[in-house]
Amino acid sequence: MSWRSLLDGLRLWARFRFSPGALRDLRRVGRLAEGVLGARTLTAARELGLFGALGEGGATTSELARRLGVPGPALRVLLDSCLHFGLLKRRGERLVPASLVTRLLDGPGGLGPALEGLVSSTLRAAPSAVARIRDGRAPRGFYEGMERADPDGIREYARFLDAAAEGPSRVLAGAADLAGARSLLDVGGGLGRFSQAFTARFPDLRATVAELPAVCPLAEEALRARGAARVSVLPLDFRKDPLPAGHDAVLFARVLHDWDQDTVRRLLREAHRVLTGAGRLLVFEILRDRDLGNGAAVVLAQWEVLLGSSGEIRTEGDYRTLLAEAGFQDVQLARPFDPLGRNALVTARRV
Ligand SMILES: C[S@@+](CC[C@H](N)C(=O)[O-])C[C@H]1O[C@@H](n2cnc3c(N)ncnc32)[C@H](O)[C@@H]1O
Taking CA 69 as the corner, what is the angle to CA 63 and CA 71, rounded to the nearest 5 degrees?
Answer: 80
Among 142, 154, 160, 161, the mutation site with the greatest number of ligand 1 atoms within 8 A of its Cβ is 161
271 C-alpha to center of ligand 1: Å? 15
**Dist CA 249 CA 205 (whole Å):** 10
Contact yes or no for 106/51 (Cβ under 8 A) = yes
Backbone angles phi, psi at 245, to 5 degrees: -90, 165
Determine whether 53 is exposed, middle or buried from the number of CB atoms within 10 Å of its CB (0-12, 13-18, 19+): middle
Contact yes or no for 298/257 (Cβ under 8 A) = no
**Dist CA 182 CA 187 (whole Å):** 16
Question: Does the N-terminal peptide bond of residue 339 adopt cis geometry, omega within 30 degrees of 0?
Answer: yes
Among 143, 170, 193, the mutation site with the greatest number of ligand 1 atoms within 8 A of its Cβ is 143
Return the CATH number of the domain spanning residue range 138-349: 3.40.50.150
- Give the tens place of pLDDT for each residue, 103-142: 877 776 677 777 777 777 776 666 677 888 888 888 777 7
- Give the tens place of pLDDT for each residue, 145-165: 777 788 888 888 888 788 888
Distances (CA, A) of 255 to 178, 246, 286: 20, 21, 10
> What residues line ligand 1, using a CB cutoff of 6 Å?
143, 161, 165, 188-190, 194, 211-212, 215, 236-239, 253-255
Per-residue pLDDT of the chain in tens (351 residues, 90 and over written 9)? 677 777 877 787 778 788 888 889 888 888 888 888 888 898 899 889 999 999 878 999 999 999 999 998 889 989 999 999 999 999 999 999 998 888 877 776 677 777 777 777 776 666 677 888 888 888 777 787 777 788 888 888 888 788 888 888 999 999 999 999 999 999 999 999 999 999 999 999 999 999 999 999 999 999 999 999 899 999 999 999 999 999 999 999 999 999 999 999 999 999 999 999 999 999 999 999 888 888 888 888 888 888 888 899 999 999 999 999 999 999 999 988 755 568 899 999 999
Q: Hey, how many other C-beta atoms are within 10 angstroms of the C-beta on 306?
A: 19
Return the CATH number of the domain spanning residue range 3-109: 1.10.10.10
Task: Tell me the domain boundaries of the chain.
Answer: 3-109, 138-349
Contact yes or no for 274/243 (Cβ under 8 A) = yes
Among 155, 220, 255, 258, the mutation site with the greatest number of ligand 1 atoms within 8 A of its Cβ is 255
171 C-alpha to center of ligand 1: Å? 19
Contact yes or no for 265/239 (Cβ under 8 A) = no
Q: Count CA atoms closer than 13 A to 163's CA, side-chain side.
A: 17
Backbone angles phi, psi at 174, to 5 degrees: -70, -30
Q: Count CA atoms closer than 13 A to 241's CA, side-chain side.
A: 14
Distances (CA, A) of 27 to 23, 32, 49: 6, 9, 32
162 CA: nearest ligand 1 atom: 9
Contact yes or no for 314/280 (Cβ under 8 A) = no
193 CA: nearest ligand 1 atom: 9
- Give the tens place of pLDDT for each residue, 87-104: 999 999 999 999 888 887
The order of strands in the sheet holding 206-211 is: 231-235, 206-211, 183-187, 247-253, 275-286, 343-349, 329-334
